[in-house]
Amino acid sequence: MLDILGKECTNKEIKKILSHYLNKPVKIKYNLGRNKYEIYEVIIKNLYNSIFIVEEIDNKNIKKSFSYADIITKTIKIYE
């Protein structure tokens, strides 16, 4: 898991950490609540001020966006 969750981070710091993984494959574990999860194998495509865009490895047509707040609130976890 990326070393983000152990600290209090701002959007700028998270963006800096994620920039090292730009255009590289990672896994995202998305917490749906009530012990339900979805796991995506994605490539981080774009980083913006408050969100980042990913593209699924299996299906290049599917793109998703997540906010840096999702990382801070532990709604998603990113693994190498």
> Burial, 35: exposed, middle or buried (Cβ in 10 Å; 0-12, 13-18, 19+)?
exposed
pLDDT for the residue numbered 6 = 55
- CATH number assigned to the domain comprising residue 66: 2.30.30.100
Per-residue pLDDT of 64-76, as tens digits, reads 999 999 998 889 9
Strands 25-33, 63-67: pairing is: unpaired
Domain count for the chain = 1
pLDDT for the residue numbered 7 = 63
pLDDT for the residue numbered 9 = 81
Residue 6 domain-assigned (yes or no):
no
Per-residue pLDDT of 3-57, as tens digits, reads 665 567 888 999 999 999 999 999 999 999 999 999 999 999 999 999 999 999 9
Domain residue limits at 46: 11-79
Q: What angle do CA 46, 47, 51 make, to 5 degrees?
A: 110
- Specify the pTM: 0.87
Measured distance CA(61)–CA(80) in Å, rounded: 22
Q: Do 6 and 60 meet the contact criterion of CB atoms below 8 Å apart?
A: no
